[in-house]
């Protein structure tokens, strides 16, 4: 697609992010390496400067991957009194798989969601006042 094209199709973040593709054109690469974002799309030229997934992927992995894996390791110990070698050979790979494999698709999904929903830094369009728009309310004197 030429760089002068201004109309891009709306692509779902879940489809482009999990595959690690550009959120605008769906063709270019999103990553340069395992988890490092590329500087921009090599197909349409979109700069990925807008992207800041921060700790989002790690949070989701901890909540939905690590907690069940650690629970499994604890239950293995409680139910079977597994030896250290058994714990390392069984629980170790499960922890690695549930912690490392989902990071890249989750990071891609979060970056593509930021582009899709035009996420940006929060800002207030009117001057800030600590008591609301009109300032502090003063009660009129009683008569």
Higher per-residue pLDDT: 52 or 5: 52
pLDDT at 7: 83
pLDDT at 94: 95
pLDDT digits (tens, 9 = 90+) for 22-72: 999 999 999 999 999 999 999 999 999 999 899 999 999 999 999 999 999
Work out the average pLDDT over 117-121.
85
Q: 36 is written with which tokens?
A: 């490092």
């Amino acid at each position: 697609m030429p760089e002068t094209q201004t109309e891009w199709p709306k692509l779902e973040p879940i489809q482009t992010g999990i595959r690690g593709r550009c959120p605008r054109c769906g063709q270019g690469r999103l990553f340069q390496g395992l988890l490092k974002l590329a500087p921009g799309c090599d197909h349409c030229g979109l700069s990925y400067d807008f992207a800041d997934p921060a700790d989002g992927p790690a949070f989701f992995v901890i909540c939905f991957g690590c907690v069940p894996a650690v629970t499994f390791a604890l239950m293995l110990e409680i139910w079977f009194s597994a030896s250290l070698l058994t714990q390392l050979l069984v629980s170790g790979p499960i922890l690695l798989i549930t912690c490392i494999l989902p990071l890249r698709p989750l990071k891609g999904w979060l970056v593509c969601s930021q582009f899709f929903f035009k996420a940006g830094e929060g800002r207030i369009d009117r001057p800030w006042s600590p008591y609301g728009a009109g300032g502090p309310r003063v009660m009129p004197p009683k008569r």
